Each structure stands twice: as structure tokens, then as C-alpha cells.
Structure 1
């Protein structure tokens, strides 16, 4: 009795489509939109030197919370305020991280170097027995009408014993000649460092 002819193997439709996509893209798989040409960031003007050690009891540590931000400045785009009720974004300018996280990092680094405090991120510790610094990052971008970078931070500092709370607003502005991807980050970084320095000195004076 003759054997039946073997059935031709049929590749699943999904695999066929994937194989076709790999061929068309030269074997390179891409997800999402086009990657930005570069990512912008702010940095602390006075970072802690390598090898420096700061120690303190947990009760004496300062926890710097991630600041809250309005929706207009929360994304990874550089916000430009046209007026009190209107925002736009700088073309081709994308932050490497959110404004809130970048400012938190600069603030923590500046307080550590300027005030000599052991600064911790609340997100990394379950127990928070030290002093708390919280705040609202109200401005982190460009004021188009005034042609300047503006950073404004509303700080709230809990006392070491947890019995009192002090609140103060800090703001800094740095001029920008033109508003584009090349000029905005350095100006915003400078303004953020001015605010962080003022907050660090304020924190140091409270103890």
C-alpha cells in the first residue's frame, strides 16, 4: 500500500508576518516612535566628591521626597509658558528623566554637600524616622514673555521632633537669548541649582 504524500508544512500567519518585518527592516526590530537625537538633563553644580562618607543615625537623616508637579511641566518635554493659562513645548527638546526626579536629585546632592546632611530617598527606605523635606515644583521651564528659565519650589520642612512644619517658596530665573533645544537645559539647570542652594542653606539654618 503506497504511503500518503507528506503534507506541506504551513507556517503560522503570525510568524510569517514577523519574518517579513525582519526582512524589511534588515533584521532590526524597532518599538515605539523615533528616538530623540539627544536627551537633556540638569546636573548639580557642586556634586559630592568620590569617596566621601557621611554617617548619621536614621533619626538624624533627611528624607527628600519626590516633589509634586503640575501636569504642564510633568512630562519629558521642556515646558514653555506663553502666559498664565497657556503652555507649549520646545521643539526637539526631551528630558532624560522627569523634571521632578531631576530636581529631587540636584536638591539632595546640594543639601548633602552644602549642609553636610545624610540625605536619603524615601522611595528606597520603608522606615522613615528622620526629618522630611517635601515640596511642590511649580515652575521648571521657560517663561517665553520674559525670555528666561524659571524654577520655583515650594518647600515644606518637618522639624526633627516631628512637632512643627515650616514652609517657604524659593524661585530663580536665568536669562535665555533664544528658546531652542541648545539653550534651554543649561539655563534651567542653573536656575535649579540656585534654588537648590537656597533650600540647602535654609535647611541648614533650621537645625
Structure 2
């Protein structure tokens, strides 16, 4: 039998326990501006396949929060967060953009059975806000491995202006910068 004093104690304790922080006011996602038609059937030889791996990133970018880079100081945009880690969203954005802008067939890293002709990997160096320039910044150090052991590297950067450092402006500007970056990478892979 449960005693009334025990029930009161549990109710009081329940008011003191928190199972996570306050959720952000806004969850954001990246959306592609280069889409593939839903009825598109594509065929390619093995030489026209590419595997796009999830990029690595430094600790500032691995979080779902949006970093604000001010010299050597780092802060985060208040009241907003990504719905998933940015590296995963960038990988999907790159895959969709390369598919839409090239004749390549992008293999899913979790489901491919074929050996790809190319592998795109890299590190997402920056994906946040530069408050001094009032711009969203996306910087990606890409590595493209081709058959035969040839490897190419290249740094890509895209910037998009924003009027204020807040969640809505930051998410929209970073989406524009990420799409610009993805188009640059797709043109390089082409």
C-alpha cells in the first residue's frame, strides 16, 4: 500500500526534476534548391557513380546549435537549432545537388552494393555566422578520391548576407550558403 506521505514526496520531487533543457523556439533544416524530378530514371555506367560520405567537423559545428564566430570567441544563436547535426544535412544536400546537376548516380553510403568510381569526403570547417560581416559562412574542405588512386582536394566557401543575428535570419542565410556551396562542389565533381 502506498502511503499519502510517499505520494506527496513523489509529487514534490517531480517538480524539481527536469528531463532536458527548454526546447528551442525554432527548429531549422536545410532544403535543396536543386531538385531531381520524381519520375526521373537514371542509368549510368560504373564510371559515373559517386559515393558522398558524411563530412567530419570540428566541435563547434558538430552540435545542432548555430555557431557565431567572432575572432577567437564562439557563441551560439539563441532560440534556434538544427533538427539534426549539420554534417548529416550537408551530406544529403550534397547528394541531392550532385544528382540534380550532374550525370552522376549518387550511391547511398548505407545501401550501396556497387563499387563507386569516386568518393567525396571532407571536413565542414565552418557552418555558422560571421557577425562582423553580417554573413552566414559555410566552408568545406573536400577530398575527391577517384579510381586508380588519384586524390584531389579543394576548399569551398559560400557566404550569404543576413540582416540580424537571430534564429530565423541565420537559418535562412545558412540554407542559401549551403546551397551555393553544394552547387560549387557539384560543378567540381561533374
Q: 2:80 maps to what in 1?
A: 93
Q: Secondary structure at the match of 1:77?
A: coil
Moved more, 37-46 or 188-197: 37-46
CA RMSD for the aligned pairs? 2.6
Instruction: Give, in whole Å, the separation in 1 of the partners of 2:80 and 2:87.
Output: 17
Q: 1:188 maps to what in 2?
A: 174
Greater helix percent: which structure?
Answer: 2
Moved more, 127-136 or 38-47: 127-136
Alignment of 1:89-128 (within 5 A): 89-125=76-112, 127=113
Residue 86 of structure 1, CA deviation: 1.5
- 1:40-90 Cα distance to aligned partner (Å, 9 max, x none): 11111111121222233556421000001110111010110011x221000
Residue 16 of structure 1, CA deviation: 5.3
- 1:135-187 Cα distance to aligned partner (Å, 9 max, x none): 1111111011111000011111111x232001111101111111001201111
Could you tell me which runs of 5 or more consecutive residues in structure 1 were left unpaired when the two chains were aligned. 1-9
Instruction: Give, in whole Å, the separation in 1 of the partners of 2:132 and 2:8.
Output: 52
Q: 1:155 maps to what in 2?
A: 142
Q: 1:173 maps to what in 2?
A: 159
Aligned residues: 185
- TM-score of the superposition, structure 1-length normalised? 0.80
Q: Secondary structure at the match of 2:78?
A: strand
Pair 1:43-2:34 in alignment: no
Q: Secondary structure at the match of 2:66?
A: strand
Q: 1:202 maps to what in 2?
A: 188
Larger Rg: 1
Pair 1:65-2:65 in alignment: no
- 1:89-128 Cα distance to aligned partner (Å, 9 max, x none): 0000110111101111111100000012111232334x56
